[in-house]
Amino acid sequence: MATRTATARSLKVACPFCMAGEAITLDLNDLRACTCESCSESFSPQQAYDRAAELAAKWASVVAWIESAPVT
């Protein structure tokens, strides 16, 4: 195996705070430390997931509302 010198890895996910795409860097020395290069927010993958789930839940209620709205 080649020697790994990288200490950070870019993640191809959108920032859950500012929605910047592919601006997230994961610290390979601390796999719970993600940093957004766009808004400088620091968070763990779990926090990012929770935030994304919160956004998804809000959108789900919008979708449900639209589907229940009478069609004109």
Residues in contact with Zn ion by the rule CB under 5 A: 15, 17-18, 20, 36, 38-39, 41
Q: Which is nearer to Zn ion, 18 or 55 (CB)?
A: 18
The pair phi, psi for residue 18, each rounded to 5°, is -115, 0
The distance of closest approach from Cβ of residue 6 to Zn ion in the complex, given in angstroms and rounded to an integer, is: 21
Instruction: Give the shortest CB-20-to-Zn ion separation in angstroms.
Output: 5
If the CB atoms of residues 11 and 17 are measured against Zn ion, the closer one turns out to be 17
Nearer to Zn ion, 18 or 53 (CB): 18
d(CA 64, CA 44): 30
